[in-house]
Amino acid sequence: MMVTRKRIKTHPAAVLIGFMGAGKSTVGKLVAELLGVDFTDADEQIVRVDGRTIPEIFDQDGAPAFREIERQVVLDLLTRGGVVSLGGGAVMTPAIADALGRQRVVYLSIDPDEGFVRAQCGDRPLLAGDDPETRYRELLAERQDTYTALATITVDAGAGNAAEIADAVVTALADHLLPERNTP
Ligand code: S3P
């Protein structure tokens, strides 16, 4: 007997994008809990796959090498289910931006003053120079249009605590989830 295997295409319930300090990982985890699905943080997955921390990858191999690992990891995650949060710069890789065109993309926007304060409490190689605040603002300005263009939903990450932001994301996602669920 011939068995035909149907290839079922999976994709995340939601992909969170946004700049450093927007709270993508914290909010993403809460959104996944509310939806009852798995959560994957792309940066954590990079560390798992590569075996080094992100600052180590930047220091030892440089930014382009990090972006290549990130590209491979993120493209793989985008073929799986659950909620996925991406590192702030992932959207600048053309293949990732292209793949995001077929996803439910939640942009967590953040005011630069608040975002910078939050981003300082992490180990972020791109903010390791002499003037991290200027660098933060420059990078955000460079990426702003890309975040906006890729977003199917935009939520202001400064409009409440993480639980409130997660609730707002889930409410906004409901509009995007229901029609697809009802499609035969
Ligand atoms: C980066 C953001 C980081 C991490 C890496 C590069 C960026 O993730 O991927 O340090 O280019 O903005 P977070 O946005 O989670 O801080």
Rounded percentage of the chain residues whose pLDDT exceeds 70: 90
In a domain, 3, yes or no: no
In a domain, 181, yes or no: no
Closest-lying ligand 1 atom to the alpha carbon of residue 70: 9
Q: What is the pLDDT of residues 98-154, one digit of tens each?
A: 999 989 999 999 999 999 999 987 788 899 888 999 999 999 999 999 999 999 999
Distance 87 CA to ligand 1 centre (A): 4
Find the CATH number of the domain harbouring 40: 3.40.50.300
In a domain, 25, yes or no: yes
With a 6 Å cutoff on the Cβ, whether 17 touches ligand 1 is: no
In a domain, 6, yes or no: no
Q: What is the pTM of this model?
A: 0.91
What local confidence, expressed as pLDDT, does residue 179 receive?
A: 46
In a domain, 4, yes or no: no
What local confidence, expressed as pLDDT, does residue 181 receive?
A: 44
Task: Please state, in angstroms and rounded to a whole number, the distance separating the CA atoms of residues 149 and 177.
Answer: 20
